[in-house]
Copies of this chain bind each other. A is one copy, B any other.
Amino acid sequence: MMLYRPFENRLNSLLTKHQLQRAQWTILYYLYHFGPTTLVEIAAYQGVEKPTVTRTINQLEEYGYVEKIPSMDKREKKMKITNEGERIYKKIRIPIDQFEMEILEGITPEEQEECIRIFDSIKSNL
């Protein structure tokens, strides 16, 4: 809980160098790792409401980091990461990986796995 704020500050200080914010970053992360998806999926992933995602996606679209692709369901707005988006993702990934390694220093992979497992359990209870 109290860990969130310092973590986000540090993360945002890394992202600011590329004119990005955490909300935008997590969408790039998602699209890079899981592939094209809809806004409602992103909202579920981020745990926020649809209008919030609309705005953030629009920002990323303006930057040219994401684009819309066709979908069979005419209601959907299916988004994919662009080549430019992948480029910026990989670029930012480097200092962020560094940051993550720093904060995880002294914690074994087993411990990390354990924590992730506990978090998944909490998430399903939420």
Which residues of A pack against B, CB within 8 Å? 1-7, 9-10, 26, 45-48, 102-107, 111-112, 114-115, 118-119, 121-123, 125-126
Main SS of chain A's interface residues?
A: helix
Count this chain's copies in the assembly.
2
CB distance from A67 to the nearest CB of B (A): 24
B122 and A118 form a contact (CB under 8 A)? no
CB distance from A120 to the nearest CB of B (A): 9
Residues in chain B near residue A26, CB distance under 8 A: 1-2
B125 and A6 form a contact (CB under 8 A)? no
CB distance from A123 to the nearest CB of B (A): 6
B121 and A107 form a contact (CB under 8 A)? yes
